[in-house]
Amino acid sequence: MDFHTLKFEDGKLSILDQTLLPGEERYIELDNIQDVYDAIKTLKLRGAPAIGVGAAYGAVIAALNAPKDSKEAFFEYFYNCCDFIASSRPTAVNLFWAIRRMKQKADSMKAMDIEHIIEGLEAEARLIEKEDEEINYKIGENMLGLLKDGDTVLTHCNAGALATSRYGTALSVFYLAKQKGINLKVYADETRPLGQGARLTAWELSRSGIDVTLICDNMAAMVMSQGKINAVIVGCDRIAANGDTANKIGTLGLSVLAKHYGIPLYIAAPTPSIDMECKSGKDIPIEERDALEVRTIKGIQVAPENIKVYNPAFDVTPADNITAIVTEKGIVYPPFEINLKKLS
């Protein structure tokens, strides 16, 4: 890949601003907590795994900027900044998982001097990034076992390299297939209202030489009815203990269609996205975003200025509509409330 989603060097987090794709490829540097928060909140950095890695590096930036005159002041600043980053978005469990892990790492080093604490925090964040890359590769390998040469897959939103440290979750299978000479084709939903499928998935797959066809969201039923789709593969932002899965708005509708047409629906899920403390999808908080995302496209008004808008960013696919959850540790089949527990 000739692009990177995020990179931490010299105390700064460099990210590819995904709000500008595909028209402009611009990297921005984040060196303070407000910028990290804003990047996650405004979707410059997005995708549950990438948010988790970015949040971990945000914690390092917090430590670098913290007062050094006393440990008490250092830790008070550090913990407050971690909580601030965690408040940027409510649905992706990776965000809270990464922040919790960075806090625990800081707690384990309280006896050390501040310089070594900062070094330890950066090492932990880099480990989180490395683990994410390894997780994604293994998910791709496990997913390949569910497909065959010549299959065509429908995907929704962007769960690719742009949403992770590398490879992606749902899209990792296509990168690995290309490496191994296996022919897979992709249909990508545009994913309204922000067009992550059109702007991001289509961009990264076509740039990598993968056969991808873009369709509008309301065309999914048509291509399924025509027998063009062998499987649906999507990512996730949180999976409840019973297998209910939160993903980008529109995934629920795809799951209903796939079930109707007898097409398997696979969830690509790094285990940090599985929240065993969340009993069901009813307990997953769903982020509702600004009405302007629906009323406008790239600043151009496409609906009446004051029209009421309902804009949930995610929906919950019930476990009954999911064929399997594919993790780095293996493939989980129903009953999910029993088999998800076996991963730990």
CATH topology of domain 146-343: Rossmann fold (3.40.50)
Q: Which two tokens stand for residue 300?
A: 């151009």
Q: According to the model, what pLDDT value does residue 92 have?
A: 81
| 248 DSSP β-pair partners | 314
* Measured distance CA(131)–CA(133) in Å, rounded: 5
Using CA atoms, how far apart are residues 6 and 70, in angstroms rounded to an integer? 32
For residue 67, what pLDDT is reported? 98
pLDDT on residue 5 = 97
Length of the chain: 344
Encoded amino acid at 305, one letter: E
Work out the angle at residue 180's Cα, subtended by the Cα atoms of residues 7 and 148, and round it to the nearest 5 degrees.
Answer: 115
Helical spans, DSSP H, in 145-250: 172-180, 196, 202-207, 220-225
- Angstrom distance (rounded) from CA 113 to CA 63: 12
- Give kind and range of the element (H or E) at residue 331: strand 330-332
**Diameter of the chain measured on Cα atoms:** 67
Residue 233 φ then ψ, to 5°: -125, 125
CB atoms within 10 A of CB 79: 17
Domain ranges of the chain: 6-136, 146-343
Enumerate residues 6+ apart whose C-beta is below 8 A from 247: 156, 157, 234, 235, 236, 237, 267, 314, 315, 317
Active site residues: 237
146-343 matches 6-136 in CATH topology: no
**Helix residue spans in the chain (DSSP H):** 33-41, 48-65, 71-86, 93-108, 114-144, 172-180, 196, 202-207, 220-225, 251-261, 292-295, 336-339
| Helix, strand, coil abundance in the chain, percent, nearest 5 | 45, 20, 35
Query: Which residues have CB under 8 Å from 135's CB, separation 6+?
Result: 49, 270, 271, 272, 328
Nearest of 186, 341, 312, 191 to residue 254 by alpha carbon: 191
pLDDT at 2: 80
pLDDT score recorded for residue 82: 98
Report whether 186 contacts 156 (CB < 8 A): no
Residue 199 and residue 234 in contact, taking contact as beta carbons nearer than 8 Å: no
Q: What are phi and psi of 68, to 5 degrees?
A: -110, 5
Tens-binned pLDDT, residue by residue, of the chain (344 aa): 789 999 999 999 999 999 999 999 999 999 999 999 999 999 999 999 999 999 999 999 999 999 999 999 999 999 999 999 999 999 889 999 999 999 999 999 999 999 999 999 999 999 999 999 999 999 999 999 999 999 999 999 999 999 999 999 999 999 999 999 999 999 999 999 999 999 999 999 999 999 999 999 999 999 999 999 999 999 999 999 999 999 999 999 999 999 999 999 999 999 999 999 999 999 999 999 999 999 999 899 999 999 999 999 999 999 999 999 999 999 999 999 999 999 86
Could you name the CATH architecture of 6-136?
Up-down Bundle (1.20)
Q: Which residues pair with 247 in a beta bridge?
A: 315
pLDDT digits (tens, 9 = 90+) for 100-132: 999 999 999 999 999 999 999 999 999 999 999
Task: Please state, in angstroms and rounded to a whole number, the distance separating the CA atoms of residues 290 and 231.
Answer: 32
Instruction: Tell me if 264 sits within 8 A of 255, measured CB to CB.
Output: no
What residues contact 269, with CB distance under 8 A and at least 6 apart?
139, 169, 235, 236, 239, 245, 325, 326, 327
